Amino acid sequence: MINSMTGYGRAEAKAGGITVSVEVRSLNNRFLEVVARLPRSLSLRENDVKEIVRKKIGRGKINVLVTIDHESNGTAPLRIDASTARAYHALLNQLRRAVKIRETVKLQHLLQFSEIFQPEELDRTDDQEWEVFQTALGGALDGLAAMRRKEGVELEKDFAERLQQLSEMLERVESLSKDQVPRERARLRERIAQILEGEKPDEGRLELELALMADKLDVTEECVRFRSHVKYFRQVMAGEEAAGRKLNFLVQEMNRETNTIGSKSSDTAIAHLVVQMKEELERIREQLQNIE
C-alpha cells in the first residue's frame, strides 16, 4: 500500500463542558518520531499519546498540537493561595521597615506576584478530559491517514506509469542486444582476418573467443531480474503493508541491473536507453522518500 508521509488532520470533541481540539501534522522522516505539545493537565500522558499515534502511523515525523477549553460558568478557573499571599505580605512589610518607608502594604502591591493565584485543581475531571481528548485525537489521526492515503494513490499512479515506461525501454534493450551479438561476431572475424592477412585462423580458439564475447554481451539475466523486480514492485504497491522500505530496496536493485546492462553493452542505442532508465529510476527514488 502506498501512503504519503506528509499530511494534516484536525478534529474537535466536546463532552461535560470540556472542548478538546487536536491538530496533527506529519512530515518525511526515516523513522517514526512523535512530538506532542500538550497542555499541563495532559503532560503526564505524553507516552500514552505517542502510543496511540504509533498504533495508526508507521513512519514520519508527527507533530500533535492540543488545546483544551473548560466552560467556566462565569467563574475564573483560579484559586487564591492564601499562605503564599500572607508570606509575600510579611516580606513586603519587612522590606518597608528595612528601608524605613511609611507607606503601608496594599493589595496592588500583592497583585504583582502571580504565584498568589493558582489554577483550580481539576483532578476530578482528568479522566473525562482524557476520554474527550482520545476522541479528538482519533478523529485527527483518521483525517491525517485519509490525506496521506489520498496522496499515496496519486503517487501510485505515477509509479505505475514510470514502471510501464521502464518495461518498454527494457524490451527495446533486449531487442537491440539480440542484434548486437551477431554484429560483434562478424566484426571480430573481420578484425582477425585483417590481422592474419590471409592465414587461416584456429577455428577452435576463434569459437571460444566468440563464445566468451557473446557471454559478456548477453544481458538476458539482467533483463529477467529487472523484470522480476518490476513485477514485485507492483505487488508491493497493491499489498496492505507499508511499502516504502521495500520499494526503496527494489529501486536500488533495478538500478544495479541497469548499470550492469550498461557496462556490458557497446551499442550506442543501448547506452542511451540505459541513461533514460536510470533517470526514471532516480525520479521514482526521489518520490519514494515521501512514502511511508
What pLDDT score does 196 carry? 56
Tracing cell 562478424 back to the chain, one arrives at 186
- Are 255 and 141 found together in one domain? no
How many CA atoms, within 13 angstroms, populate the side-chain half-sphere of residue 66? 30
Give residue 81's pLDDT band: very low, low, confident or very high (50, 70, 90): confident
- Are 157 and 85 found together in one domain? no
- Are 261 and 179 found together in one domain? yes
For residue 171, is it within any domain? yes
Which amino acid type is present at position 231? K
- Are 70 and 18 found together in one domain? yes
Contact 27, 6 (CB under 8 A): yes
Q: What is the dihedral of CA 261, 266, 267, 273, to 10 degrees?
A: 30
For residue 14, is it within any domain? yes
For residue 23, is it within any domain? yes
- Are 28 and 143 found together in one domain? yes
For residue 1, is it within any domain? no
Tracing cell 476520554 back to the chain, one arrives at 131
- Are 38 and 125 found together in one domain? yes
For residue 19, is it within any domain? yes
For residue 68, is it within any domain? yes
What digits encode the pLDDT tens for the residues 156-173? 999 999 999 999 999 999
pTM (2 decimals)? 0.66
Among residues 230, 287, 289, the alpha carbon closest in space to that of 257 is found at 230
- Are 82 and 99 found together in one domain? yes
Contact 155, 2 (CB under 8 A): yes
Look at the chain and report how many structural domains it folds into. 3
CATH of the domain at 38: 3.30.230
CATH of the domain at 194: 1.20.140
What pLDDT score does 201 carry? 57
- Are 38 and 137 found together in one domain? yes
For residue 277, is it within any domain? yes
* Three-state secondary structure call for residue 137: helix
DSSP-assigned states of every residue in 234-271: HHHHHSSS--HHHHHHHHHHHHHHHHHHHHH---HHHH
What pLDDT score does 174 carry? 86
For residue 2, is it within any domain? no
- Are 144 and 157 found together in one domain? no
- Are 20 and 125 found together in one domain? yes
- Are 214 and 130 found together in one domain? no
Domain boundary pick from 149, 169, 202? 149
Q: Where are the beta strands (DSSP E) in the chain?
A: 7-15, 18-27, 32-37, 60-70, 78-80, 117-119
Sorted by sequence, the CB contacts under 8 Å of residue 10 that are 6+ apart come out as 21, 22, 23, 24, 140, 143
Pairing of strands 18-27, 60-70: antiparallel
- Are 82 and 61 found together in one domain? no
The residue with greater pLDDT, 241 or 60, is 60
Rounded to an integer, what distance in angstroms lies between the CA atom of residue 89 and that of residue 91? 6
Which range is least confidently modeled, 114-118, 180-184, 221-225?
Answer: 180-184
Full domain range(s) for residue 94: 78-119
